[in-house]
Chain A
């Protein structure tokens, strides 16, 4: 089971700044475990951030994104109390979506 994305969003002068920390191992598929066996690649491939249902950022990740991917970005608009949703999919097909409220 995956853990929830930690996310904060705050609005200043009409610009909302979002900071998100997705919880994921982001295995690159080249690391070996103690027994010398390759650990299969396991990483987030796509994510999407919505503000009240409208896409404000989306993207794709390869294996070179750090463990527990961090993202900081800003968009125009948004007001205190609005919902921000971040969803992701990984290469095993696992999905999750988490919400935060703009403060």
Chain B
């Protein structure tokens, strides 16, 4: 029996960012007054969606990709157990993360896909309410995402 979780690897996981989207959010808070914000950024403050805001601030928003399939029920009766499948046919899929935009904590889980393992994951997540499930996939160094709305009848967070 081996509990094979070595510390170096854990560190790499932590710093290597399983937190793609959250990293983007953090980046918003990192902008220094006086540099990029010399002028009041109308487009950023007028942004109605997160993506618009990030784009206006010069943050790269992950592209959508038809090579990623996100399967989840249209209506989930029990928010405590929502089956989700992510399937990426992108070459060199390295990482898959699952996020739910209206959960108290947005990031559900993050997976590292080594070479030889397929870009396929089937798991079960909790959802507090009707929300968008996002699959964030890192392939060949770039981030992609797909999202899907799931209606939740009884929240389970």
Q: How far is the CB of B22 from chain A (nearest CB, A)?
A: 10
Q: Which of B44-52, B108-116, B137-145, B146-154 contacts A (4 or more CB under 8 A)?
A: B108-116
Which residue from B2, B82, B104, B111 sits with its C-beta under 8 Å from A97? B2
A-B residue pairs in contact (CB < 8 Å), sample of 16: A28-B105, A48-B4, A57-B112, A59-B109, A64-B126, A64-B157, A65-B108, A65-B123, A65-B124, A66-B125, A67-B80, A75-B117, A75-B118, A85-B1, A89-B5, A97-B4
* Alpha-carbon distance between A20 and B4 when the two chains are bound, in angstroms: 17
CB–CB A62/B108 < 8 A: yes
Name the residue among A58, A61, A97 with the largest chain B CB count within 10 angstroms. A58
Q: Count the B residues whose beta carbon is within 8 Å of the partner chain — how many?
A: 37
CB–CB B126/A74 < 8 A: no
* Alpha-carbon distance between A49 and B56 when the two chains are bound, in angstroms: 41
CB–CB A87/B3 < 8 A: yes
Which residue from A46, A48, A73 sits with its C-beta under 8 Å from B120? A73
Please tell me if B100 contacts chain A, counting CB pairs below 8 Å.
Answer: yes
CB–CB B2/A85 < 8 A: yes
Which residue from B3, B109, B157 sits with its C-beta under 8 Å from A60? B109
* Alpha-carbon distance between A61 and B99 when the two chains are bound, in angstroms: 11
Name the residue among B2, B5, B13, B120 with the largest chain A CB count within 10 angstroms. B5
* Alpha-carbon distance between A64 and B109 when the two chains are bound, in angstroms: 8
Residues on B with C-beta less than 8 A from A26 are 126
Tell me the residues in window 64-93 of chain A with beta carbons closer than 8 Å to chain B beta carbons. Answer: 64-67, 69-77, 85, 87, 89
Which residue from B5, B107, B112 sits with its C-beta under 8 Å from A62? B107
* Alpha-carbon distance between A58 and B4 when the two chains are bound, in angstroms: 11
CB–CB A70/B3 < 8 A: no
Which 10 A-B residue pairings sit nearest by Cβ, starting from the closest?
A72-B122, A59-B111, A66-B124, A75-B117, A64-B108, A74-B118, A87-B3, A64-B126, A70-B124, A97-B3
Please tell me if A56 contacts chain B, counting CB pairs below 8 Å.
Answer: yes
* Alpha-carbon distance between A96 and B3 when the two chains are bound, in angstroms: 7
Residues on A with C-beta less than 8 A from B112 are 57-59
Residues on B with C-beta less than 8 A from A70 are 122-124
Residues on B with C-beta less than 8 A from A65 are 108-109, 123-126
Please tell me if A6 contacts chain B, counting CB pairs below 8 Å.
Answer: no
Known contacts A57-B111, A75-B116; is-contact A28 B5 (Cβ 8 Å): no
Please tell me if A39 contacts chain B, counting CB pairs below 8 Å.
Answer: no
Which chain B residue shows the least CB distance to A15? B118
